[in-house]
Structure 1
Amino acid sequence: MEDVTALVEVSRDRALHQWASSVVGNDADGRRWVQAQQQGWAVGERFGFAVLEAQPGSVREQLVGNVVLKEVTSGKPAAEVGYWTAAHARGRGVAPRALEALTNWAFDTFKADGLERLELLHQVDNLPSCRVAQKTRYDFDTLLPAAPPAFSRDGHLHVRRASP
Structure 2
Amino acid sequence: MPVVLSVAATPTTPGLLLRPWRDGDAEALLEAYRDPVLRAWTRWPVTTRAEARAFLRRARQGWAADRRFSFAVLEPEPAGERLVACVVLKEVRPGRPAAEVGYWTAAPARGRGVAPRAVDAVTGWAFTRFAAAGLTRMELFHQVDNPASCRVAEKSGYAFAEVMPARPPFPRDGHRHVRRLP
In the aligned structure 2, how far is the partner of 1:18 from the partner of 1:140? 23
What amino acid maps onto 2:29 in structure 1? L
Partner of 1:139: 159
The alpha-carbon deviation at position 135 of structure 1 amounts to: 0.5
Partner of 2:109: 89
Q: Is 1:53–2:53 an aligned residue pair? A: no
Q: What TM-score, normalized to structure 2?
A: 0.86
Gaps of 5+ in 1: none
Count of residues in Structure 1 that have an aligned counterpart in Structure 2:
160
| Cα drift, residue 75 of structure 1 | 0.4
In the TM superposition, what is the alpha-carbon distance from 1:18 to its structure 2 partner?
1.6
Identity of aligned residues (%): 56
Secondary structure of the residue aligned to 2:103 is strand
Alignment map for 1:3-152 (pairs within 5 Å): 3-55=25-77, 57-58=78-79, 60-148=80-168, 150-152=169-171
* Unaligned 5+ runs, structure 2: 1-22
Structure 2 residue matching 1:151: 3-state secondary structure: coil
Normalising by the residue count of structure 1, what TM-score does the alignment of the two structures yield? 0.96
Query: Could you tell me which amino acid in structure 2 is paired with residue 78 of structure 1?
Result: A
The CA RMSD over aligned residues, in Å, is 0.7
1:20: Cα distance to partner? 1.2
Residue 44 of structure 1 and its aligned partner are, at CA, apart by 0.8
Runs of 4+ residues over 2 Å off in structure 1? none
Separation in 2, partners of 1:147, 1:74? 26
- Secondary structure at the aligned position of 1:62 is classed as strand
